[in-house]
Chain A
Amino acid sequence: MSERRTRTIRVPALARVEGEGGLEVRVSQGKVTAVRFRVFEPPRLFEGFLRGRDFREAPDITSRICGICPIAYQMSAVHAMEAACGARVDGPLRELRRLLYSGEWIESHALHVVLLHAPDFLGYESAIAMAKDHGTAVERGLALKKIGNAVVDLLGGREIHPVNVRVGGFYRVPTTRELSGLREPLERARDLALELAAWVSRFPFPDFEREVEFVALRPPGEYPFNEGRIASSLGLDIAAAEFDAHFGEEHVRHSTALHGFRRRPASAGPAARGEPEAVYLVGPLARYALNFDRLSPLARETARAAGLGPVCRNPFQSIIVRAVEILWATEEALRIVNAYEPPDRPAVEVEPRAATGWGATEAPRGLLVHGYRLEADGSIAEARIIPPTSQNQRSIERDLRAFVEPRLDADESALTWRCEQTVRNYDPCISCSTHFVKLRIDPDGSACRS
C-alpha cells in the first residue's frame, strides 16, 4: 500500500491522440505532487512563416497545421483577415462556410468518438480490438466519417488540406445539383448520429465532475461555428479582438506548446475560489453548456435521452456531447443543403489595408483564435494563432490531478489507463498545439527529431 502512495505514473507516448505527447503524474505520501501533460515536439513556427506573406495566403498556409481540422484554421484565418480589411461575407457564402464546417465536425468527431475514445470505455486497447466485438459500431463511425469527408471534399476541393477556401468566400461554389447529392448521405448520417448518441450514452462513466470556467463562442440565434462573441460561464462577453486582454499564454518547461490561461479579474465568481491557476476550458463541454438553447429540438431531446442536462461537467461524458454535436451538424448541413441557392459570385472582393484583425471560430476541439496585423499592401506583419489544445493544457493537468488523487489505491495499470483516458477526453490535437513535426521516441524516453 505504501508503495502505491508514493509512485509515478508515466505514459511516455500517448496512443490514440493526434500528435506526440506523454504524461507523468508523481505521487508522494498519498498526495499528487506533480502533473505534467508532456508535449515534446519542437514548434513548427507557423506564425513565423506567415510574416511577410500575402494576406490571401493565410488560409492555405494555416490549414497545413493540422490534417484533422484544416477547415477550422482556414475559417479562423479568413474571418480574421476579413475583420482586418473591413469585409463582410453574408448570405449563401456564409451558409456554405457553415456547411463546410459541419463536414469537419462530423468527420473529426466521428473519428474521435468511435475509433479513438470509445475503446477506453469498453475496455479495449484499440479500435482494432474493439471492432471484433463491436463491428456495427465501428462501421457506423466509419460511415459517418465518410459522409463528413464528402462534405469537405465537395466544398473544400479535397478531403485533406482543402484548397477551395479563400478570403472573401470560395474559389468555386457548388451547383444546386452538386449540393443536393449530399442530401441522402446527410439524412443517413443523421440517423447514424442518433444511433451513436444512444450507444455512447450506455457507456460506464466515472463519477467525476469539475467546476471550471467554460469558454466558447455564443452567436445570436445559432449554435456556434464561425462567428459570435467569446462568452464564458463566468459572464465574459467579448469580441475576438479583445482576446489578449482576457487570456494569456506562457511557456512551461515540460511542454513545447504554450499553456493558455485566463487573466482573472478581481470580480471572479465562486468557481475561481481556491484555484491556484486561472484555468478555463474550451471545446464541446463549453460549447454545449453555453449554447444548449441554440441546439435543434432533436439534438436537445437526444442529449436529454442520453442523460445530459443543459450543462455537463463530467469530462468523460464529453463523448456524449460530441455525438450530440454530430447530430446537430448533420441537421445544420441538411438545412443548408435544402435551402441552397447559389450566390452570384463565389467570393466578395477584399481589399487589403493597414489594420489588425482577429477571428475566432469553433474547431471540433474548441475555440481557435487567429490575429493578424497587416501592412497596407496586404503583407502579414504579425500573426497569432491560439489553438484549443494549447488553451486546454492546464485543464487537462487539473483533471489528471483531481481524478488521480482519490484513486491512488487503484491498480497501477487501471489508473494509468484512466489517466490516458482523461487526456483523451479532450481529443487533444497536439500537432495543432505546437504546430509540431514528428518525433521519434528513444527507448530511454528521450526524444529527438527523426
Chain B
Amino acid sequence: MPLVIGVGREGRGDDAAGLRAARLVRALLWPQVRMVECAGDAPALLEAWRDESAVIVVDALSSGAPPGTVRRIDASGAPLPAEFSRASTHVLGLAEAIELGRSLGRLPRSLVLYGIEGRSFAPGARLSYPVECALREAALLITEEILAGGGLEPPRRRPEETRP
C-alpha cells in the first residue's frame, strides 16, 4: 500500500488542492491508507517518503493548462516537467525534492505524482470552483489506483483526459 502525501497550504487559494484531495483519499480508504500532509518544502518531502517504497504525491499545479486539469506523472524514472519546478510557492519544492532524492538515492522505488491545475494562489483566497471539482476527481483516481492491486498500476481511466 503506497503512502499518500498531500502537498500544499491552506489559505492560499488552490494551493490547498493537494491537501484536500489527499484527505478525501484517506476518508475513502480509511483505515487502510496511510496519508501525510506536507507544506511542500523539499526537506520535509524527503523526510516524508524516507524508507517508503511506493508513494503517491498530490499537489497543485500552475502550468498554464485549464484550471481543474488533472495530470498523472510517473516521477520515479525521469525528472518532472519544467512547470512543476516553478509552480511551487516554496524555496525548494516538489520538483527539487524529487531530484535531490534521486541524487541522494532517497527516492521511493515507485513515485507517482497527481497534479491538479490551479487557478488562483492568492493569499486568503478560497479554492476555485473548477479545482473543488477536480480535486474530487483526483481523489477518485488515486483511490482507484491504490485499489488496483495495492499498486501503482495506471488507473483504467486516463486522467490526462479529464476536465472539470
B89 touches A138 (CB 8 A): no
B91 touches A16 (CB 8 A): yes
A438 touches B100 (CB 8 A): no
Q: Is the interface of A mostly helix, strand, loop or mixed?
A: helix
B46 touches A67 (CB 8 A): no
Which residues does chain B contribute within 8 Å of A159, judged by CB atoms? 39, 44
Q: 8 Å CB contacts to B: which residues of A400-450?
A: 437-438, 450
Which residues does chain B contribute within 8 Å of A135, judged by CB atoms? 103-105
Q: Is the interface of B mostly helix, strand, loop or mixed?
A: loop
Chain B residue with Cβ nearest A132: B103
A139 touches B104 (CB 8 A): yes
Interface: A382 (CB within 8 A): no
Interface: B69 (CB within 8 A): no
CB distance from B12 to the nearest CB of A (A): 9
Q: 8 Å CB contacts to A: which residues of B80-100?
A: 89-92, 96, 99-100
Which residues does chain A contribute within 8 Å of B99, judged by CB atoms? 128
A147-167 toward B: CB 8 Å interface, digit per residue (1/0)?
A: 001000000000110000000
Complex-state Cα separation, A123 to B43, whole angstroms: 22
Known: A127-B100, A128-B99, A138-B100. A145 touches B43 (CB 8 A): yes
CB distance from B79 to the nearest CB of A (A): 9
Complex-state Cα separation, A438 to B120, whole angstroms: 11
Complex-state Cα separation, A131 to B96, whole angstroms: 11
Interface: A116 (CB within 8 A): yes
Known: A68-B91, A131-B100, A135-B103. A142 touches B123 (CB 8 A): no
B39 touches A160 (CB 8 A): yes
CB distance from B45 to the nearest CB of A (A): 11
Which residues does chain A contribute within 8 Å of B104, judged by CB atoms? 131, 135, 138-139
Q: 8 Å CB contacts to B: which residues of A27-77?
A: 44, 64, 67-68
A128 touches B39 (CB 8 A): no
A131 touches B103 (CB 8 A): yes
Which residues does chain A contribute within 8 Å of B43, judged by CB atoms? 111, 115, 142, 145-146, 149
Chain A residue with Cβ nearest B79: A128
Interface: A18 (CB within 8 A): yes
B2-18 toward A: CB 8 Å interface, digit per residue (1/0)?
A: 00000001010000000
B92 touches A127 (CB 8 A): yes
CB distance from B8 to the nearest CB of A (A): 11
B121 touches A115 (CB 8 A): no
Which residues does chain A contribute within 8 Å of B103, judged by CB atoms? 128-129, 131-132, 135, 138
Interface: B153 (CB within 8 A): no
CB distance from B147 to the nearest CB of A (A): 31
Complex-state Cα separation, A450 to B12, whole angstroms: 13
B39 touches A115 (CB 8 A): no
A18 touches B39 (CB 8 A): no
Which residues does chain A contribute within 8 Å of B47, judged by CB atoms? 142, 146
Interface size for chain B: under 10, 10 to 19, 20 to 34, or 35 or more residues? 20 to 34
Known: A67-B90, A145-B43, A159-B39. A437 touches B123 (CB 8 A): yes
Contact of A18 among B42, B91, B105 (CB under 8 A): B91
Chain A residue with Cβ nearest B97: A128
A119-134 toward B: CB 8 Å interface, digit per residue (1/0)?
A: 0000000111101100
CB distance from B86 to the nearest CB of A (A): 8
A127 touches B123 (CB 8 A): no
A67 touches B123 (CB 8 A): no
B9 touches A160 (CB 8 A): yes
Interface: B65 (CB within 8 A): no
Complex-state Cα separation, A16 to B96, whole angstroms: 11
Chain A residue with Cβ nearest B15: A438
CB distance from B97 to the nearest CB of A (A): 10
Chain B residue with Cβ nearest A429: B91
CB distance from A159 to the nearest CB of B (A): 7
Which residues does chain B contribute within 8 Å of A438, judged by CB atoms? 89, 121
Interface: B122 (CB within 8 A): yes
CB distance from B56 to the nearest CB of A (A): 22
Which residues does chain A contribute within 8 Å of B123, judged by CB atoms? 44, 64, 437
Complex-state Cα separation, A127 to B121, whole angstroms: 27
Chain A residue with Cβ nearest B62: A450
B101-135 toward A: CB 8 Å interface, digit per residue (1/0)?
A: 00111000000000000000111000000000000
B41-65 toward A: CB 8 Å interface, digit per residue (1/0)?
A: 1111011000000000000001000
B91 touches A128 (CB 8 A): no
Contact of A128 among B9, B62, B96 (CB under 8 A): B96
The 6 A-B residue pairs whose C-beta atoms are closest, nearest first, are A131-B103, A128-B99, A160-B39, A145-B43, A132-B103, A142-B43
A residues adjacent to B (C-beta < 8 A): 16-18, 44, 64, 67-68, 111, 115-116, 126-129, 131-132, 135, 138-139, 142, 145-146, 149, 159-160, 437-438, 450
A–B pairs, 26, beta carbons within 8 Å: A17-B91, A18-B91, A67-B39, A111-B43, A111-B91, A115-B92, A126-B96, A127-B92, A128-B99, A129-B103, A131-B100, A131-B104, A135-B103, A138-B103, A139-B104, A142-B47, A145-B43, A146-B47, A149-B44, A159-B44, A160-B9, A160-B39, A437-B122, A438-B89, A438-B121, A450-B62
B residues adjacent to A (C-beta < 8 A): 9, 11, 39, 41-44, 46-47, 62, 89-92, 96, 99-100, 103-105, 121-123
- New A-B pairs, 18, CB < 8 Å, besides A128-B99, A149-B43, A450-B62: A111-B91, A115-B43, A116-B91, A126-B96, A127-B92, A128-B96, A128-B103, A129-B103, A131-B103, A135-B104, A135-B105, A142-B46, A142-B47, A146-B47, A149-B44, A159-B39, A437-B123, A450-B121
